[in-house]
Amino acid sequence: MDILILGYGKMGKIISEIAETRGHRISGKINIDNRDELNSLDPSKIDVAIEFSQPEAAVENISWAMTRGIPVVSGTTGWLDRKSEIEILTAKHNGSFFYASNYSIGVNIFFKVNEFLAKLMNEISGYQASLEEIHHTEKKDAPSGTAITLAEGIIRNVNNLNSWHLNGQSPESEHSLPITAKRIDPAPGTHIIRYSSEIDQIEITHTAHSRQGFALGAILVAEWILGKKGVLSMDDFLSF
27/13 same-domain check:
yes
7/68 same-domain check:
yes
For residues 67-94, average pLDDT: 96
142/74 same-domain check:
no
For residues 48-65, average pLDDT: 96
Tally of CB atoms within 10 A around 14: 19
What CATH number should be reported for the domain holding residue 158? 3.30.360.10
110/162 same-domain check:
yes
Task: Give the pLDDT confidence score for residue 187 in this predicted structure.
Answer: 83
What CATH number should be reported for the domain holding residue 48? 3.40.50.720
Task: Give the pLDDT confidence score for residue 60 in this predicted structure.
Answer: 96
179/61 same-domain check:
no
For residues 57-84, average pLDDT: 96
For residues 21-33, average pLDDT: 96
118/94 same-domain check:
no
Mean pLDDT of the chain: 95
Number of structural domains (the chain) is 2
10/76 same-domain check:
yes
111/92 same-domain check:
no
| pLDDT of 182 above 60 | yes
The answer to whether residue 135 is catalytic is yes
- Side chain identity at 7, as an amino acid letter? G
The active-site residue out of 24, 135, 191, 206 is: 135
CB 43 within 8 A of CB 36: no
78/116 same-domain check:
no
pLDDT digits (tens, 9 = 90+) for 93-143: 999 999 998 899 999 999 999 999 999 999 999 999 999 999 998 887 899
User: Positive or negative, the Cα torsion across 138, 54, 193, 99?
Assistant: negative
The answer to whether residue 93 is catalytic is no
Range of the domain at 131: 105-207
115/139 same-domain check:
yes
Task: Give the pLDDT confidence score for residue 225 in this predicted structure.
Answer: 97
74/129 same-domain check:
no
The active-site residue out of 24, 139, 191, 206 is: 139
Work out the percent of the chain whose per-residue pLDDT is above 90: 85
| pLDDT of 65 above 90 | yes
Task: Give the pLDDT confidence score for residue 240 in this predicted structure.
Answer: 56
13/36 same-domain check:
yes
| pLDDT of 49 above 80 | yes
Q: Where are the beta strands (DSSP E) in the chain?
A: 2-6, 25-30, 48-51, 72-74, 96-99, 128-135, 163-166, 176-183, 190-196, 201-207, 230-232
The Cα 135–Cα 17 span in angstroms is: 23
| pLDDT of 160 above 80 | yes
